[in-house]
């Protein structure tokens, strides 16, 4: 289907939004410094939603959609959520993985599947005559 003559050279909504963001936040850099190397626009990354910030301690994957000159970036996550924050909290899926020895809090020990929350053990109990009894 041919483009109508009135639409030739017209800018899309995304072009205009990009221009507005550049005006508000400055020129978008080519890369920013992530937790395990350089982060670029379009890169697959992961961040941890820490318990300290009200999260569940799990790691979430997404794609970098915007870089900012103050070493910040915006991520569109696979689950549809978005986040803008310090790129030093962002791990590239192409770089070395986060590890507990690298100082990444909440990372599972070697041999535990990534994506599983790590924390205090769950206490199991059984109700007997209306009173909870802790199991060994």
Q: Looking at residue 23, what DSSP letter applies?
A: H
Does the pLDDT of residue 12 top 80, yes or no? no
32 pLDDT tier (thresholds 50, 70, 90): very high
User: Quick one: CA dihedral 121, 51, 114, 100, positive or negative?
Assistant: negative
Tens digit of pLDDT for each residue in 53-102? 898 989 999 999 999 999 999 999 999 999 999 999 999 998 888 875 44
pLDDT of res. 103? 43
Report pLDDT for 101.
42
Through-space distance between the first and last CA atoms of the chain, rounded to whole angstroms? 71
- 8 vs 81: which has the higher pLDDT: 81
CA 72 from centre of chain: 12
**Nearest CA-CA partner of 22 in 86, 76, 63, 66:** 66
């Amino acid at each position: 289907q041919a483009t109508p003559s009135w639409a030739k050279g017209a800018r899309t909504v995304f072009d205009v939004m990009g221009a507005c963001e550049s005006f508000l936040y400055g020129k978008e850099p080519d890369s920013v410094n992530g937790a395990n190397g350089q982060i670029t626009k379009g890169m697959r990354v992961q961040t941890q939603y820490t318990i300290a910030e009200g999260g569940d301690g799990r790691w979430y994957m997404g794609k970098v959609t915007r870089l900012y000159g103050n070493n910040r970036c915006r991520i569109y996550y696979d689950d549809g959520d978005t986040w803008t924050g310090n790129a030093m909290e962002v791990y590239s899926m192409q770089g070395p993985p986060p590890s507990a020895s690298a100082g990444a809090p909440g990372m599972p020990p070697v041999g535990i599947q990534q994506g599983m929350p790590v924390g205090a053990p769950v206490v199991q109990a059984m109700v007997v005559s209306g009173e909870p009894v802790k199991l060994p």
